Chain A
Amino acid sequence: MLELDGATKRFGGRVALDACSFVARPGRLTGFLGPNGAGKTTAMRTVFGLVELDAGTVRWRGGPIGPEERGRFGYMPEERGLYPRMQVRDQLVYLGRLCGRPRRAVERTVDAWLDRLGLAARANDRLDALSHGNQQRVQLIAALVNEPDLLVLDEPFAGLDPLAMASMSALLAELAAAGATVLFSSHQLDLVEDICEDVVIIDAGRIVRAGDLAALRAAVPQRFVSVRYRGCPPDWSRLPTVAVVDQAAGRARLRVDRDSDLATVVAVVGQAAELVSFAYEPPSLSELFREAVAA
């Protein structure tokens, strides 16, 4: 388990991290969300000692993080970059050996990943001879060369096409299922909602939500009702506790309190139109995010 405990970092007068505390648990995908400039990259860098904290600690499996621990971490920085003129396989083996693994073991891991991501034929090409998509794959392998227990990825989905996104999601889920702790930042809230068990939301250096995604959604006092109908638009003003979030011809999305009487909603629809479908659900991740960040 990765744990930030009261992590605080100032850059000059600006507070980048303000007593941040959250955990990322093994075997689960943790999505790290927040507006640009909220502190995601700084928080991730603290794990690797790239940013020295002014206060607070970062712990791995309950203990401090030293070179030994970092040798078992994988990291994909937001600003991608590897040696452009170095051969792909040489470069990956070098990065794996820097983690302290013996050459043979690294070579096996690198070859397996090159093979799996369809890069085996390009192993001896210079990195800058590869397409953008393939360079992204090499960058991902660079984070995996030491078969890490903890994988930290800064915007791994940025710039990927839909197919690459799907295979990246599958790959991260697979690594988590194999027992790794996976923390990644993203602005793709729908995707995070689909694949993450846990989320952490940071805003202006403060952690505003953290934990199991389903539990966070359930904990919000509001619920959302999505209705589809055939006929005239219902007169929502007759329901004072209901707020219309979105409406268009034949459908509406309403925000209601958790304990409100749904029968009255059905009744109001029935007075004007024929109800086609009705869904009652906790907020989506993007609704949760907007609510958390706006607060």
Chain B
Amino acid sequence: MNGTRQAWLVAAREVRERGRSRAFLVSFVLMLLAAATAVALPALLDSGPGTKDVGLSGPAPAAFGPALEAQGQAVDTTIRLQRYDTVAAGQAAVRDGDIDVLVVDARRLEWRTRADEQLQAVVTGAIQLVAVQERAAAAGIDADELAVIVAPVPVTNVELGQVAGRSPDDETAAFIMTVVLFGAISTYGAMVLSGVVEEKASRTVEVLLARMPARHLLAGKVAGIGVLGLAQVVAVAVVALVAAGTVDSVDIPAVRSSVLAWAVVWFVLGYALYATVFGTLGSLASRTEDASSVTGPVTVVLVLAFVVSFAAIGSADTTWARLVSWFPITAPLAMPNRIAMGAATWWDPLVAVALTLGAIAVLVVLGGRIYTRAILHSGSMLTLGEAWRDAVSAGATAAARPRRTGPARP
């Protein structure tokens, strides 16, 4: 029987069985809802940056209202005014969230929590302007002259970002990608782990291994869950993008499509690397309860890789960032960052891909051996050292003998 076909059957079973399980479907729907909500909710809750409600209480100059509206318009903000007879009523409205700020006696601003800096500037500016107008009138300065004197000077804002030559959009894209890749690799790696442990704990694995070599089983399982994971991540991303487009809330960084393509490549590579390790170590555990203790060290490594890659975003051009983005353990998280930051040369990702593929190949061979030794071992939990010694000694005998079980009889 063709090994590729067996691995394909294993992968197809993983997709089918997991895809139809209620737990999977429920969690998938929740993920989609969470993605849509996370993107759309801020826009829906906020009445929009364009509108602010300002309450007035106590005496205020007649010109204050129009001045406030004019100041608001200068920064694309519509100011809606509410008058309150008592300060207490105004404060209650602030506490209830009916108004954003209460202006008392045209001198004091009362906020529910911290001041909204932009709104503070608008209101303060209006108060100052009215005061200047009153004093100018008292000093006999003509209103038109005054308008010329206090005409606003246009000021523009530029977002420099953390790194020279990079837009903050690049940084945002790099941050989001690191988080999503880390989350996806841990989630689907854990799924491979639980699948392997479940097969071992239920003893299904002996029936399977009587029909196929362990490496085909492991490869098929990793591939099946990977396909499922990729589909899920893409679906969530599409929902998030659609939600963002519909409500027009979050400023989606203008990410180059090549960056997205590389993100997919690095999900596949990073997942393959870590899932192989998770699956191999899962074979050491005899019960579901042991699973997390055998994989603890890998989880720590993955978290460290995440932290290091995160740190590398800010210094994408340094030599250590380049090395981190080449090193197979950190490359799946660090290289997509550097690509998003535009720090990678055209051959940088190719080097990292080659190194990571090599590491995966080594892990598959070693992992397959350890898996074969450990998976039929029941009872107490195997240590990696024991399984490794077994695998190495068996590998040595296997190398010394012909591969098949014996010479054919004449």
Give A residues with C-beta under 8 Å from B.
5, 45, 48-54, 56-59, 62-68, 70-71, 73, 75, 77, 79-86, 94-95, 97-100, 142
Contacts and interface: CB of A to CB of B under 8 A. Distances in A.
Interface stretch (B135-143, B202-210, B248-256, B346-354): B202-210
Contacts of A82: 202, 204, 207
A293 B168 CA distance: 80
B408 interface: yes
Contact of A99 (B211, B213, B397, B409): B211
B204 A81 contact: yes
A52 B398 contact: yes
A85 B17 CA distance: 9
Nearest to B206: A77
Contact of B405 (A59, A62, A100): A59
A80 to B, nearest CB: 7
A94 B205 CA distance: 14
Given A5-B406, A59-B409, A75 B210 contact: yes
Interface string B1-43: 1110110011001000100010000000000000000000000
Given A65-B404, A98-B6, A83 B204 contact: yes
Given A52-B397, A67-B1, A82-B202, A57 B207 contact: no
Given A52-B397, A67-B1, A99-B1, A75 B9 contact: no
Do most interface residues of chain A lie in helix, strand or loop, or is the interface mixed?
A: loop
A73 B6 CA distance: 16
Contacts of B397: 52, 54
B407 A50 contact: no
A185 to B, nearest CB: 15
B384 interface: no
Chain B contact residues (Cβ within 8 angstroms of A): what range? 20 to 34
Contacts of B207: 75, 77, 81-82, 95, 142
Contacts of A67: 1, 3, 212-213
A79 B207 CA distance: 10
A294 to B, nearest CB: 29
B376 A50 contact: yes
Contacts, number: 96
Contacts of A79: 203, 206, 378
Interface string B254-292: 000000000000000000000000000000000000000
Contacts of A80: 203
B283 to A, nearest CB: 14
Contacts of B359: none
Contacts of A70: 1, 210-211
Contacts of A64: 404-408
A73 B21 CA distance: 32
Query: Which of B6, B9, B204, B213 has most chain A Cβ within 10 Å?
Result: B204
Interface in B354-410: 376, 378, 394, 397-398, 404-409
B314 to A, nearest CB: 46
Nearest to B408: A63
Nearest to A67: B1
A124 to B, nearest CB: 12
Contacts of A59: 405-406, 409
B210 A58 contact: no
A283 B6 CA distance: 49
Nearest to A80: B203
B406 A81 contact: no
A62 B409 contact: yes
Contact of A98 (B9, B202, B398, B404): B9
17 contacts: A45-B376, A49-B405, A56-B406, A57-B406, A66-B405, A67-B213, A75-B210, A77-B210, A79-B206, A81-B204, A81-B205, A95-B208, A98-B1, A98-B9, A98-B211, A100-B1, A100-B5
Nearest to B5: A100
A47 B2 CA distance: 19
A213 B193 CA distance: 48
A77 B207 CA distance: 7
